[in-house]
Structure 1
Amino acid sequence: MRGPRRVYLVVLFWISLLVCLTSYLGAGYRAAAAQDALSADTVAPEAVHEVTAHFALRSHPWLSLHHFLYQWACTEDADRRCARRMTVSEKKMLAALPEPDRILWLQAVELYRAVQDRSLLFDDALIQVKSLISEPADSIPANLSDVPLGLGKALEAAMPVYRKHWWDQHRERARQWMRTTAATLRSVEASSVAQLEHVYGGTWPEEPVQVDVTPYANWAGAYTTVRPTHVIIMADGNGGDARDVEVLLHESAHGDFFTQPLKSTLRTAFRAHQAEPPDRLWHSVIFFVSGEVARRTVADRPSEFKPYWAGIDAFVEGERRNEFDALRSTLGALFEGMIERDAAFDALASRLSATSSAGTDAPE
């Protein structure tokens, strides 16, 4: 019996060894296959992030590609349907691309040319495009086929070309901008947000506001869609200065958590003077307040800081100059602690209502 038993044990040993070897090789094959699939489906390296107490900054490959193609197509639009053109410096690299890449890229650009009469900020279809490709950041969105206007097809075809020629550069530009901007935010955001809440009468949300940093945005360099609040901002320069913080504070204020209480406050103040607030006054308030908070919390030389609104002709010497004259004297006094919030908005409404009435009663 010892002989057969020994044979049985030897056979059992080799069977066990074969099973283990097969399992090991199979696991290795599956891991390799998974890695191949990951490489095929992702834009490497992955999206990068910086998170502060109030902002979640992210560089997202699909959103970056979307805005890159949109602005590139705008420069190609002979019909001049785009509102304002941005300079797309990467166009000078086009001739050096391999012909297959160049053909794929120009086909995607052509599809984006068809949407140049649509606004990234106000057009429902383009807002849906942004929403559908926002998640996940590091793989091909499963819903590209649902992306409207044929842009899903354009994005899928263009992504390998983008990955090969531009994504690394754009990602690194965004990484630098986010790193320096997040460092500045961490030192000033608590006091900045407290000032915003006091003026607007709202409360910053518990979750950080989502900010996607892209190589290009809309013509203004940044825009915000709401419900949920989602900021798109162009990585311009090294980041972290007072103007960058001002733009982030401005864009975030477009969220309902600040815009709705601000509009309510303005309505109440103006109705006390038998008037209605001018249609875009709430936006003028956001311009003024964001610049003032950035000047007070970030600017190295506050007296020399030039807020964004000061570069807009309509606010400085055009039809809306009277709004900013009133804002400087009323909300400016609020920032200085010379007047309470309700009194500041009442003074603003009193001044602008009187100006409006005088203009209405004046002879033609």
Structure 2
Amino acid sequence: MMKALVLKRYGKSAQLEFAELPRPTIKSDEMLVEVHAAGLNPVDNMIPTGAFKPILKFQLPATMGSDLAGVVVEVGSRVTRFKVGDAIFASLFDLGIGSLADFAVVPERAAALKPANLDFVEAASIPMVGLTAWQALRVRADIQPGHKVFIPAGSGGIGTFAIQLAKHFGAKVGTTTSTGNLDLVKRLGADEIIDYKKQAFEQTLQGYDMVLGTVRGDGIEKSLQILKPDSQVISLVGPPDAAFARKRGMNFVLKCLFGLLSSKIIRRARQRGAAYSFLFVRADGRQLSQISKLLEAGHIRPVIDRVFPFAQTLEALAYLEQGRAKGKVVVQMLRA
């Protein structure tokens, strides 16, 4: 048996509780991993509300959590890249399995060896923010030296990683943050820093090649004002677009719905000569391996706000939901 944080029902009063579950069994292309630490992400607070029910295929009751770092204790017959005893890290997001448990099933394709210079807590803070930034900046936007990239909320979990990755790619980075975090984002490499309590970024910044949409509300629409022609808006917070629905094989109704939801921002972006797209991060162990090399070389460093013991995961989620974390919030399984 093992301990896991389980979602039993969706809703505003979502039922999240610890449960004793059987130790999971693995398929031939999977590994069983003893979890040492699990990174939390804002989506972990959104999933229980039912906001992602049309998109994510969870079978309730479901173990929560996406990011993990731990040690392989069993491998399937077709696993070739890992062996028992390997320290790995991975994102399980959108795979229908969870990381907030004593043990987790990890598909081989989702895992990478843990960076040698990071401990388990540091490694667990990386997968989702690392993959999100990589897939946005490298894969979709193909950021090149000299490009100008706007990454709002620079002191948050995604912001602290994305700023460092964009700088590694040679970009000039603009960001927003509060007065108390100005020094942090400057140390991470941000070039143009807007204190959002004192300035409006859309009235100050200009000539940007890309916006990474990380903040809900009207921030994405305002960010169109800072873009130059032939630029991109890549949103992590929506609205989802029809291309996303097609890629996931959604039904006609959802394709139409997402097309309708995104039509306004797509139209306004086109008026500025920009392209809008929605990015839904996917698990990818090979990309994580490339990110691992950057971490081992010291080009990017983890930024961790607080570490909670596993027994206080609900408190950790409540703290994350306040939206004030500088970097990542991580849950640590305390091993004897």
Q: Tell me the TM-score normalized by structure 1.
A: 0.24
Name the structure with the higher helix share: 1
Larger radius of gyration: 1
The normalised TM-score by structure 2 is 0.25
The structure with the largest strand share of the pair is 2
